[in-house]
Structure 1
Amino acid sequence: MKKQVSAILTAGMAASLLVGCGGGSTSTAPAESTSTAASTEAAAPAESTEAGQAADITLWTYPIGKWGDSESVDALLADFNAQYPDIHVTVEYLDYTNGDDQVNTAIEGGSAPDLVMEGPERLVANWGAKGLMVDLSDLWTDDQKADISASVESACKDSSGAYYEFPLCMTAHCMAINKTVFEAADAMQYVDAENHTWTTDNFLKAVQAVYDSGKTDV
């Protein structure tokens, strides 16, 4: 039987943590993607100990930020184990050449990891659409929504309204342009300089204008 997985968004357009549990439903998702995410299967806790409840947990992580850096991850785990000494976390580092295949194979074989760290945008589109992720709508109370930007909330749910992710933090992502090149290509007309933004349509027009001006590496 396939397992469902819930996702926890760690950055607006950066990374998500997936936590496994049982269930099933299907949905579609937001378009912008970075890479295919992951699903997970909950680990059965080991026998209780005097210090607390022992457990072995597996974490598979893509190279999101410093999540691909073993030294940084080891430091996080050291802090975690200082508070939870009876929980042992085994980490496997994925990449974008074969990581998706590894996760898919693990899901189909019923041996998916407990946690997977990956970019949030494609989590809903891939695993959510396949019914492998848990609807987290009960976490999205009005109080919680008050502290979450609309763009991040939108990235966490699909077109049916099911929430497959929950933010731990939010970050701003920026784009920069070469103003001299844009001015020479008459592409500044497509930039909202006052508000430091542009529409997707104007972004494409600006790129085309710069390309047509003779800049082939756009």
Structure 2
Amino acid sequence: MKFNKWLSIAMIFVFVIVAAACGKKEEPAPGAGGNTEQKQDTTPDTVKVWTYPVHGKYEDDIKVLISEFNKTYPHIKVEYEVLSWAEGPKKFDVALNAGNPPDLYFGGMNGQYVNTGLALPIDSYLTDEIKKDFLPGTLDTMKFGGKQYGLPLYQSLWGWGANKRILDEAGIDYKKIQDNGWTWEEFLSVSKKLNKTLPDGTQQYALVTDGTSLDFLDMVTRNAGLVDAVDEKGNFIWNDNKITDALKFINTLVKDGYMPKETVALAPAKRTEMFYAGQAAIISKAIPYYDVMIANRNKDIDAGKVKGEKIEYIQLPVPHSPAVSGYGVTTGGGEGYIAFTQKGQTNEQHKKNTFLVLDSLTGALAGNSANELCLPFVRTSQAKAFEGKGLAKEVNFNVSKKMRETLAPQVALTIDVDKAAKLKQYREQVQKPNFQALLAGEKTPEAVAEDLKTKGQQMLR
């Protein structure tokens, strides 16, 4: 009898424990999904975002992105400001130097941001799910020193672009170039067919670029096998025949008249004007977005708003040295939102909220920016969300995808801050004047190469 009494008590005790266990709510593991965020502090918070007119309709995009974000996080207010490309960088620098940058800033990654101590590492907030959503190599464009400070919205791509009519008239097989790339020698052969005097007496050039920046020099030297003046470890590499070969190629383009003699003084706007006027078959530093820009210009011509020839745009890769195999090398990088904290800021929840906004502004719906700019998507979810809605012509979009696969590494993101600062100084004080002297015919390729080598060894040791 006593045995049965104690057995009954034990069974009741076990039943109570089991019932309690079944009634206990299972806590989600960190990074397991949206449930984790529901447990966060829901105290009202404000995240400040400074951005730019990424494309013509970008402010419409950001309004939608914030609205969708607030459906899940109504307690986080997102204040955004659209800066001008002309004045925005200066305004941001002032705020950063004062220790009060916005929580999120649109742009490319820069080691100088890290040097201020205000760039916010986001590695601890990145889930495996988010990492896997980004295509290979895309996250690296927003890293510095191995740490993640931002997320890319898209990857910029600089190539060359052509007027299809002029290529067709010269019998140029541009599809072969798009599929396989081309060498410097092949481009020079094509240039002979593209250069001619037009009926009105003006000259049609094979290629037009501006001489006021180093963009053209960057594209040519990278296609000579030189990722930059230094390699990814910071070693100076503009000290052999590769740089001389690149300079000789550029010199030939000007000397033989394939580019205008006045290239050294050409501003970007004049370069574009010449291309639109049919005075150049190919334009340098052409981005895939030209597909949309030129299509809109064609509509304006039809509507009588603009006078000129309608152009069918063809995206081309940059030609490369025979020493570089394959498709050639593409200049570009990641652009997106970089996270910052303010001087004295210690609120961990605010940092987490900043990351939540960052992920939203670069998520699946944010893929419209890449779509509008005719660029390959950086996230699998973006490609899925905009499947079949692409604005770029297929013939050009396929080239853009190949160009993305051949992007040159961004050396400035792998070397230390001091070396990056010296590289920037070298570019302005040595590369630029020598490049312009070469374009103007004031110095030979050999003399320029020697100056670049000597001063590079002094400044970038």
Taking structure 2 as the reference length, what is the TM-score of the superposition?
0.27
CA contact (8 A) 1:57 1:87 kept: yes
Q: Partner of 1:113 in structure 2?
A: 102
1:96 aligns to what?
Answer: 85
- Tell me the distance in 1 between the aligned counterparts of 2:168 and 2:81: 47
Deviation at 1:149, TM superposition (A): 2.2
Give the match for residue 177 of structure 1: 162
Alpha-carbon separation, structure 1, partners of 2:259 and 2:98:
52
The CA deviation string for residues 56-100 of structure 1, in whole angstroms up to 9 with x for no partner, is 22221112236752x332222222222222222222221122212
- 1:212 equivalent in structure 2: 257
Query: What is residue 164 of structure 1 aligned with on the other side?
Result: 149
Task: Specify whether residues 98 and 135 from structure 1 end up closer, same or farther in structure 2 by C-alpha distance, changes over 3 A only.
Answer: same
- SS of the residue aligned with 2:110? helix
Give the distance between the partners of 1:146 and 1:80, measured in 2 at CA: 18
Shift of residue 144, structure 1, vs aligned partner: 3.7
In the alignment, is the contact (CA less than 8 A) between 1:192 and 1:198 conserved in 2?
no
Indicate the residue corresponding to 2:48 in structure 1.
58
The question of whether the paired residues in 2 share the 8 Å contact of 1:57 and 1:114 is answered with yes
What is the rounded CA distance, in whole Å, between the counterparts of 1:91 and 1:108 in structure 2? 20
Q: Deviations over 1:103-123 (max 9, x none)?
A: 22222333322222x232xx2
Alpha-carbon distance change, 80 to 208 in structure 1, aligned in 2, over 3 angstroms? farther
The verdict on how the C-alpha distance between 1:153 and 1:68 changes in structure 2, with shifts beyond 3 A counting, is closer
CA displacement, residues 13-47 of structure 1 (integer Å, 9 cap, x when unaligned): xxxxxxxxxxxxxxxxxxxxxxxxxxxxxxxxxxx
Q: How many residues align?
A: 160
8 Å Cα contact 2:99/2:118 also seen in 1: no
Give the letter for the 1:148 counterpart: L
Change (3 A) 1:125 1:140: farther
What is the CA distance between 1:154 and its match in structure 2? Answer: 4.1
CA distance in 1, matches of 2:57, 2:49: 11
Q: Cα–Cα, structure 1 residues 88 and 130, in superposed 2: closer, same or farther, change >3 Å?
A: closer
CA distances 1:150-185 after superposition (whole Å, capped 9, x unpaired) = 3x2442334x43443345x65685743346656999
**Equivalent position of 1:73 in the other structure:** 62
- Tell me, yes or no, if the aligned pair for 1:124 and 1:164 is still in contact at 8 Å: no
Match of 1:128 in 2: 114
Structure 1 outlier segments of 4+, above 6 Å: 182-185
Structure 1: runs of 5 or more not aligned: 1-47
Aligned residue runs from structure 1 range 32-51, under 5 A:
none
The one-letter code sitting in structure 2 at the alignment partner of 1:119 is G
Paired residue secondary structure (1:103): helix
In structure 2, the partner of 1:149 is: 136
Partner-residue secondary structure (3-state), 2:143: coil
- Can you give the 5+ residue segments of structure 2 that lack an aligned partner in the other structure? 1-40, 185-218, 225-245, 264-273, 275-282, 284-461
Q: What RMSD in Å do the two structures reach over aligned CA positions?
A: 4.7
Q: Please state which structure has a larger fraction of its residues in helix.
A: 2
Q: 1:94 to 1:195 in 2, by over 3 A?
A: same
Matched, 1:82 2:71: yes
Amino acid at match of 1:59: V
Residue type at the aligned position of 1:91: Y
Q: Secondary structure at the match of 2:77?
A: strand
Contact 1:61–1:92 (Cα < 8 Å) also in 2: yes
